[in-house]
């Protein structure tokens, strides 16, 4: 198995990067949709139903598959011999950041359900603040992987 991972390393790494890009796009866009949804849409209106459809499709058709493939390809890279040195700090920073990113994804999924149930209580300001979470995590991940501190 390790020989397969070594031979396919660049393909797996490429698919991991593509998956991360798709996941990040959703993590940036869904909270922004929530901002517009909470600030400009009347509950129960046609526009409310349109926003709910867009939010559901973004999460289910793009974000969930992208998160799953990010994890699969990322764990494949971790299992590739010679790629990760667990005695250094960077893989632990990246691992913690990816876990936090996954938590944020699940939090967004919960918020989507609150919109669907008509029970959202968060403001546009709160969603704007939460929209900064993936940016901070992205910076931690990229710097830890590239700089390898």
Q: How far apart are CA 18 and CA 67, in angstroms?
A: 11
What's the confidence (pLDDT) of residue 2?
77
- pLDDT at site 1: 74
d(C-alpha 54, C-alpha 115), whole Å: 12
Domain assignment of residue 14, given as a range: 2-147
Q: Which of 36, 29, 41 is nearest to 135 (CA)?
A: 29
d(CA 53, CA 92): 37
- Which tokens is 38 given? 């909470």
How many folded domains does the chain comprise?
A: 1
Cα separation, 31 vs 28, in Å, equals 6
User: Residues 62, 28: contact at Cβ < 8 Å?
Assistant: no
The predicted pLDDT at position 82 comes to 92
Question: According to the model, what pLDDT value does residue 23 have?
Answer: 98
At residue 89, the pLDDT reads: 97
d(CA 93, CA 115): 33
What's the pTM value of the predicted model, to 2 decimals?
A: 0.94
CA distance 44 to 83: 51
Angstrom CA distances, 29 to 76, 80, 81, 116, 124, stand at 27, 32, 35, 18, 14
User: What pLDDT is stored for residue 4 in this prediction?
Assistant: 84
Q: What is the pLDDT of residue 149?
A: 86
> Which residues in the chain show pLDDT less than 50?
none
CB under 8 Å to 26, separation ≥6 — which residues? 58, 59, 62, 63, 66
């Amino acid at each position: 198995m390790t020989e397969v991972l070594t031979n396919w390393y660049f393909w797996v790494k490429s698919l991991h990067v593509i998956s991360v890009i798709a996941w990040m796009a959703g993590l940036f866009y869904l909270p922004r949709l929530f901002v517009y949804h909470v600030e400009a849409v009347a509950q129960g209106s046609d526009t409310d139903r349109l926003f709910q459809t867009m939010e559901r499709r973004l999460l289910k058709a793009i974000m969930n598959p992208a998160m799953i493939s990010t994890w699969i390809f990322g764990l494949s890279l971790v299992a590739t011999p010679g790629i990760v040195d667990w005695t250094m700090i960077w893989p632990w920073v990246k691992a913690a950041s990816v876990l936090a990113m996954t938590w944020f994804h699940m939090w967004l999924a919960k918020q989507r359900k609150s919109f669907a149930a008509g029970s959202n209580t968060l403001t546009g300001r709160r969603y704007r603040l939460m929209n900064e979470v993936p940016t901070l995590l992205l910076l931690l991940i990229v710097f830890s992987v590239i700089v390898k501190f």
